[in-house]
Structure 1
Amino acid sequence: MDHGDPTRAHAPDRRALLRGTLAASAALSMPVLASGASAAPAHLLRRSAPAAKWGVQAGDVTSSSGLVWTRADRPARMLVETAPTEAFRNPRRWHGPLLGPETDFTGRVAVHGLPPGEQIHYRVTLLDPDDGRRAGEPERGTFRTAPRQQHAGVRFVWSGDLAGQGWGINPDRGGYRIFEEMRRLDPDFYLNSGDTIYADSPIEASVPLPDGSTWRNVTTEEKSKVAETLAEFRGNFRYNLLDAHLRRFNAQVPTVAQWDDHEVLNNWYPGEILDDDRYTEKDVDTLAARSLRAFSEYLPVTTLPPRDEDGRVYRVVHHGPLLDVFVLDMRSHRNANSPGRQPEDRQGILGAAQLKWLKRALSRSRATWKVIASDMPISLVVPDGETDVEAVAQGDPGAPLGRELQLAELLRHIKHDGITGTVWFTTDVHHTAAHRYDPDRAAFGDFTPFWEFVSGPLNAGGFPALKLDATFGPVQRFLKAPEKANTPPSEGGQYFGQVDIDGTTREMTVRLREQGGAVLFTQTLHPGSA
Structure 2
Amino acid sequence: MPDHEHPLDRRRRLFLRDAVLGSGALLASAQTMRAHAQNSPAAPAVITSERLRPQLPGGIMSGDVTRDRAIIWSRSDRNARMLIEYASDESFRDARRIEGSIALARSDYTARVELRDLPPGRIHYRVRFQDLTHSSAISEALQGSLVIPDVADMGAGKPPRDITFAFSGDEAGQGWGINREWGGYRVYEAMRRFKPDFFIHSGDQIYADGPIQAEVKLDDGSLWRNVVTEAKSKVAQTLDDYRGNFAYNQLDESKRRFCAEVPFLVQWDDHEVRNNWYPGQVIGAAEKRYQERELNVLTARARQAMFEYNPFRIDSSDPHRIYRAFNHGPLLETFMLDERSYRGANSPNRQTGGADAAFLGSEQMRWLKQSLLRSRATWKLIASDMPISIVVPDLNPDVPQGTFEAWANADHGKPSGRELEVAELLRFIKRNRIRNVVWVTADVHYASATHYSPERAQFNDFDPFWEFVGGPLNAGTFGPGEIDRTFGPDVRFVSIPADMKQNRPPTDNYQFFGIGKIDAKSKALTMSLHDVDGKELFKVELPPAA
Task: Give TM-score, length-normalised by structure 1.
Answer: 0.89
Q: How does 1:181-192 map to 2 (within 5 A)?
A: 181-192=190-201
Matched, 1:364 2:368: no
Contact kept, 8 Å, 2:191 with 2:534, in 1: the verdict is no
Q: Specify the alignment match of 1:293 in structure 2.
A: 304
Matched, 1:435 2:454: no
The one-letter code of the counterpart of 2:189 is E
Contact kept, 8 Å, 2:187 with 2:534, in 1: the verdict is no
d(CA) in 2 for partners of 1:417 and 1:129?
55
1:310 CA drift (Å): 3.4
Matched, 1:514 2:540: no
Contact kept, 8 Å, 1:54 with 1:247, in 2: the verdict is yes
The one-letter code of the counterpart of 2:170 is D
d(CA) in 2 for partners of 1:193 and 1:461?
16
Structure 1 stretches lacking a partner, 5+ long? 1-42
Q: Specify the alignment match of 2:4 in structure 1.
A: none
User: Secondary structure of 2:135's partner?
Assistant: strand
Contact kept, 8 Å, 1:195 with 1:428, in 2: the verdict is yes
Please say which structure displays the higher CA radius of gyration: 2
Q: How does 1:109-188 map to 2 (within 5 A)?
A: 109-116=113-120, 118-149=121-152, 151-188=160-197
Matched, 1:280 2:291: yes
d(CA) in 2 for partners of 1:342 and 1:219?
44
The one-letter code of the counterpart of 1:292 is R
CA deviations on 1:85-117 (whole Å, 9 max, x unpaired) are 22222311221111101100001100010002x
The one-letter code of the counterpart of 1:376 is M
Give structure 1 regions of 4+ aligned residues with deviation exceeding 4 angstroms. none
Q: Specify the alignment match of 1:323 in structure 2.
A: 332
d(CA) in 2 for partners of 1:174 and 1:377?
29
1:125 CA drift (Å): 1.2
1:211 CA drift (Å): 1.1
Contact kept, 8 Å, 1:75 with 1:101, in 2: the verdict is yes
The one-letter code of the counterpart of 1:121 is H
d(CA) in 1 for partners of 2:328 and 2:420?
30
Q: Specify the alignment match of 1:422 in structure 2.
A: 437
Q: Specify the alignment match of 1:71 in structure 2.
A: 75
Q: Specify the alignment match of 1:58 in structure 2.
A: 62
Structure 2 stretches lacking a partner, 5+ long? 1-46, 155-159, 396-400
1:400 CA drift (Å): 0.6
Task: Give TM-score, length-normalised by structure 2.
Answer: 0.87
1:418 CA drift (Å): 0.9
Contact kept, 8 Å, 2:79 with 2:131, in 1: the verdict is yes
CA deviations on 1:423-463 (whole Å, 9 max, x unpaired) are 00000000111110010111100000000001100110000
CA deviations on 1:478-527 (whole Å, 9 max, x unpaired) are 11225121111111210000110001000000001011232111011111
1:184 CA drift (Å): 1.0
1:197 CA drift (Å): 0.5
The one-letter code of the counterpart of 2:450 is H
* Matched positions, count: 484
Contact kept, 8 Å, 1:178 with 1:458, in 2: the verdict is yes
d(CA) in 1 for partners of 2:94 and 2:54?
24
Matched, 1:462 2:472: no
Contact kept, 8 Å, 2:186 with 2:533, in 1: the verdict is no
Q: Specify the alignment match of 1:101 in structure 2.
A: 105
Q: Specify the alignment match of 2:362 in structure 1.
A: 352
Match of 2:491 among 476, 480, 484: 476
User: Secondary structure of 1:180's partner?
Assistant: helix
Matched, 1:90 2:99: no
Q: Specify the alignment match of 2:52 in structure 1.
A: 48
d(CA) in 2 for partners of 1:203 and 1:135?
35
Match of 1:493 among 502, 505, 510: 510
CA deviations on 1:364-392 (whole Å, 9 max, x unpaired) are 00000000000000011100132100000
d(CA) in 2 for partners of 1:338 and 1:268?
12
Contact kept, 8 Å, 2:81 with 2:132, in 1: the verdict is yes
d(CA) in 1 for partners of 2:362 and 2:373?
17
Match of 1:389 among 388, 404, 429: 404
Q: Specify the alignment match of 2:463 in structure 1.
A: 448
d(CA) in 2 for partners of 1:388 and 1:493?
28
d(CA) in 2 for partners of 1:92 and 1:308?
30
Q: Specify the alignment match of 2:11 in structure 1.
A: none
CA deviations on 1:297-332 (whole Å, 9 max, x unpaired) are 00011146xx45431010001111111100000011
1:45 CA drift (Å): 6.4
Contact kept, 8 Å, 1:233 with 1:290, in 2: the verdict is yes
1:44 CA drift (Å): 8.2
The one-letter code of the counterpart of 2:453 is D
1:259 CA drift (Å): 0.5
User: Secondary structure of 2:65's partner?
Assistant: coil
Match of 1:379 among 380, 389, 404: 389
Contact kept, 8 Å, 1:51 with 1:72, in 2: the verdict is yes
Contact kept, 8 Å, 2:236 with 2:242, in 1: the verdict is yes
d(CA) in 1 for partners of 2:124 and 2:393?
45
Contact kept, 8 Å, 2:54 with 2:130, in 1: the verdict is yes
Contact kept, 8 Å, 1:303 with 1:315, in 2: the verdict is no
Contact kept, 8 Å, 1:423 with 1:451, in 2: the verdict is yes
Matched, 1:246 2:255: yes
1:133 CA drift (Å): 2.8
d(CA) in 2 for partners of 1:382 and 1:260?
13
The one-letter code of the counterpart of 1:519 is E
d(CA) in 1 for partners of 2:536 and 2:376?
31
Match of 2:234 among 218, 225, 233: 225
Distance of aligned partners of 1:187 and 1:205 in 2 relative to their CA distance in 1, 3 Å threshold: same
d(CA) in 2 for partners of 1:342 and 1:177?
43
The percentage of aligned residue pairs carrying the same residue is 50
User: Secondary structure of 1:164's partner?
Assistant: coil
The one-letter code of the counterpart of 1:73 is D
User: Secondary structure of 1:478's partner?
Assistant: strand
Contact kept, 8 Å, 1:46 with 1:137, in 2: the verdict is no
The one-letter code of the counterpart of 1:356 is R
